[in-house]
Amino acid sequence: MDNSKSVAGAAAMLLACVFAVSSASAGEPDGQVRMEDIKFQDLNLTTTAGMDTLYQRIHSAAQRVCAVSGQPTVDVAAAKCSKDAQARAIEKMNLPALTAFAANR
């Protein structure tokens, strides 16, 4: 199987990536875990542009789920939460090209 088909297969199986963050970091008073789906079936993950777009979607979603209501997103806890959520999502997706792309960012 060529690489493009294996990446397409991975994308088909992983249509959504869920970020789970601790309720303390995400500012959820009721103990609920904040999550967001990331869809990427529209991307060509064999290209740098496709990887960049996927990385940006993950980064943006991590910032949204970790934002603390009423506080700037540059808050130290929110920044750590976002970084951790992004790293977990990339690891969970298990796409070597995405892992390498993220490591070079």
Q: What average pLDDT does the chain have? A: 72
Average pLDDT, integer, range 17-41: 58
- Tell which wins on pLDDT, 29 or 23: 29
**At 21, which helix (H) or strand (E)?**
none
DSSP 29-67: TT-PPP------TTS-TTSHHHHHHHHHHHHHHHHHHHP
Per-residue tokens: 1: 């199987």
Phi and psi angles of residue 45, each rounded to the nearest 5 degrees, phi first: -80, 5
The number of domains in the chain is 1
Q: Which domain holds residue 51?
A: 3-103
- Tell which wins on pLDDT, 81 or 25: 81
The confidence band for 57, taking pLDDT boundaries of 50, 70 and 90, is very high
Among 3-12, 16-25, 64-73, 74-83, name the most confident range: 74-83
* Of 103, 99, 95, nearest in space to 14 by CA: 95
The pLDDT of residue 6 is above 70 = no
